[in-house]
Amino acid sequence: MIHLLGIVAFSFLPAAQAQSISPLRVLLSPGEANAVVTVGNPSNQNKTIHIGWEDLTLLENGTYRISTTAERQQSSAAPHLLVRPARFHLGPGEQRQIKIDVRDDFNWPEQTEKRSHLVIHFEDANGHSRRVSSGLQLDMARAISLPVIMRSSEAQDADNSVRIWEAKLRRVHDGGLALDVILKRSGPHSIYGKLVIESPLLAGGDVQTLSEQDNIALYTENETRVVSFPLGLRELPESTMTVTFSGSAEYAGRTFAKREFAIKAPQKSSTDSLRD
Assess whether pLDDT exceeds 70 at residue 236.
yes
The confidence band for 110, taking pLDDT boundaries of 50, 70 and 90, is confident
- Spatial CA neighbour of 8 closest among 200, 178, 194: 178
The one-letter amino acid at 31: G
Assess whether pLDDT exceeds 80 at residue 273.
no
The confidence band for 109, taking pLDDT boundaries of 50, 70 and 90, is confident
DSSP code per residue over 147-173: EEEEESS---GGG-EEEEEEEEEEE-T
pLDDT tens-digit readout, 27-50 = 999 999 999 999 999 888 999 999
pLDDT tens-digit readout, 145-190 = 899 999 988 766 678 999 999 998 988 888 889 999 999 999 999 9
Assess whether pLDDT exceeds 80 at residue 128.
no
Residues 123-150: what's their mean pLDDT? 60
pLDDT tens-digit readout, 45-76 = 999 999 999 999 999 999 999 999 999 999 99
Look over the chain and give the mean of its residue pLDDT values, rounded to a whole number.
83
Assess whether pLDDT exceeds 90 at residue 12.
no
- The pLDDT, as a whole number, for residue 271 is 47
**In terms of pLDDT, which residue wins out, 7 or 226?**
226
- The pLDDT, as a whole number, for residue 154 is 75
Distance separating alpha carbons of residues 115 and 38, to the nearest angstrom: 20
Residues 204-228: what's their mean pLDDT? 93
How far does CA 168 lie from the centroid of its chain?
20
Q: Which domains does the chain have, with CATH numbers?
A: 21-151 (2.60.40.10), 156-275 (2.60.40.1930)
Distance separating alpha carbons of residues 134 and 117, to the nearest angstrom: 10
- The pLDDT, as a whole number, for residue 274 is 65
- Spatial CA neighbour of 247 closest among 257, 237, 233, 239: 257
Residues 2-10: what's their mean pLDDT? 27
- The pLDDT, as a whole number, for residue 64 is 92
Residues 11-40: what's their mean pLDDT? 75
Distance separating alpha carbons of residues 219 and 170, to the nearest angstrom: 26
**In terms of pLDDT, which residue wins out, 268 or 251?**
251
pTM of the model: 0.81
**In terms of pLDDT, which residue wins out, 4 or 47?**
47
